[in-house]
Amino acid sequence: MTVTSGFPGDFLYGFATAAAQIEGGGEEAEKASGRGRSIWDTFCEKPGAIVDGTHVNRTCNHLALYKEDIALMRSLGANAYRFSISWPRLIPLGGREDPINQKGVVFYNDLIDECLKNGLTPFACISWDLPQALFDRYGGWLDQDSIVPDFTRYARFCYETFGDRVKHWLTFNEPWCVAVLGHGQGAFAPGHKSNIEPWIVAHSVLIAHAHAAKLYINHFKPTQGGSIGITLNGDWAEPFDDTPENIKAAQRKMDFAVGWFADPIYLGRYPQSMIDILGDRLPKFTVEELAVLKDSSEFYGCNTYTTNTIKATRSDDEFAGFTTMAFDRPDGSVIGPRSALGWLRDVPWGLRKLLNYLAARYQKPIYMTENGWCIGGEGSLRVQDATDDDGRVQFYQGYTQSLKEAVEIDRLDIRSYFGWSFIDNFEWASGLGPRFGSVHCNYETFERTPKDSAYFLMDFFKKNVARSKGIANGH
């Protein structure tokens, strides 16, 4: 067995953030910035929608403190920054005929320039927070014919404006969450509960992704020289035991979590298990749609956090293919320590299995775009105690070792790792309660304080990424 040593010299590593989760400095500052309302502004104002009653317009004030944040990333040793661009900050009303907010353009230009000045490679995602105006006009992602040209125009503007400096693009981040949590379970904006809407929304997102990506590949890549793809959330599904029914159930869970989006993009079809279960509720691709989907993602963007054990025992969770998700083993043990959130356990060996699955099934380079941990009770700690985040250090120790084995032993083509998150932030419906940051944020003063995990994670990559001529040690 040939074992390489370390990561290649062009490996990207650092931290990830999302615009809506960190940019806001308060209602007045956001109004002054010219950002339009997103569906998350509306959702936050719905009584009981956000656990702690906080609002997406006041998070970490990255809009004002981006220079401090980028300098901090650089001082910690990062070589890249994965961020997102807010659609309503650039085009407040969102549509293809709507005006541009020049203050938003200035902010993202300055942010990108600051990255480059500090030696950080900018890695940009262009979608998460849908402009409220588009939802009001036609229902947002529920109207494919309207949203695809609006999103494509927004994407074009991003490439034209920032593509001379941004060479790594993501069209979408975690569309599963938009479809299931936003339109199926009602936990995320816009708060709809339906067993019809999620499949329609996902189909619209897939086609919007494809049009935006092909626009870049065909018209901007030849001169700008970058690459573009989509990033999907999906955790490893481990069969509860080696019985055929549980092995089959685990694959069905992977189909519904990952294959729903990845199979159409990389393989040209929806997973058969989804077709069998959903029937006519699952939209059918036209010949034209399949043509634009083909080769529309130049890599696989991977957001992953945990692993579940999967049983064939029928549940009522259609979004998990009616499988039963758990964390227990046949011997009564559990597969990993608890976090602050019920869905998240520390299971580092699952990462290596997932990466091998993705590489074998989709045959694309992999960019790991999110991976992180949330410690129980961290939000109530004093800053000097919160920075001693041993649980997060332990998580990153396990997952980076698993990543290293996937590169060195399994010889997988993995090109980045971004810890989630750079800073404590607005965790969507959970508000400001759960903390995923490797940098502590005081939500009253916006003061930043690095935690032990920030130093560990960046030191790990500084030691393991090749330094000479961009060629991995041992090659």
Give the pLDDT confidence of 288-329 residue by residue, as tens digits.
999 999 999 999 999 999 999 999 999 999 999 999 999 999
Residue 105 has pLDDT above 90, yes or no: yes
pLDDT of residue 306: 98
Q: Which helix (H) or strand (E) holds 310?
A: strand 307-311
Residue 416 lies in a domain: yes
pLDDT of residue 128: 83
Residue 68 has pLDDT above 60, yes or no: yes
What integer best gives the mean pLDDT of the chain? Answer: 96
Q: pLDDT band for position 2 (50/70/90)?
A: low
Residue 155 has pLDDT above 90, yes or no: yes
| Cα angle value 53/59/63 (rounded, 5°) | 150
pLDDT of residue 3: 54
Which residue's entry shows tokens 């085009």? 91
Number of domains in the chain: 1
With a CB cutoff of 8 Å and minimum separation 6, the contacts of 15 are 73, 78, 81, 82, 418, 419, 420, 421, 422, 423, 438, 454
Q: What radius of gyration, in Å, describes the C-alpha atoms of the chain?
A: 21
pTM (2 decimals)? 0.95
Do the beta carbons of residue 79 and residue 120 sit within 8 Å? yes
Residue 6 lies in a domain: no
pLDDT of residue 117: 98
Q: In 3D, which of 272, 252, 263 has the Cα closest to residue 297?
A: 263
88 vs 132: CA distance, rounded Å:
8
Do the beta carbons of residue 396 and residue 460 sit within 8 Å? yes
Q: What is the CATH number of the domain that holds 141?
A: 3.20.20.80
pLDDT of residue 123: 98
Residue 390 lies in a domain: yes
Residue 127 has pLDDT above 70, yes or no: yes
Residue 470 lies in a domain: no
**pLDDT mean over 147-169:** 98
Phi then psi for residue 15, to 5 deg, are -130, 155
Residue 227 lies in a domain: yes
| Phi-psi category of residue 171: left, alpha or beta, with phi > 0 → left and psi -120 to 50 → alpha | alpha
Residue 22 lies in a domain: yes
**pLDDT mean over 264-272:** 98
Residue 469 has pLDDT above 50, yes or no: no
Residue 475 has pLDDT above 80, yes or no: no
State the catalytic residues. 174, 370
Residue 473 lies in a domain: no
Give the residue numbers spanning the domain of 187. 12-464
Helix 102-117 and helix 144-162, axial crossing angle in degrees, nearest 10:
50
Residue 40 lies in a domain: yes
Share of the chain above pLDDT 70, in %: 97
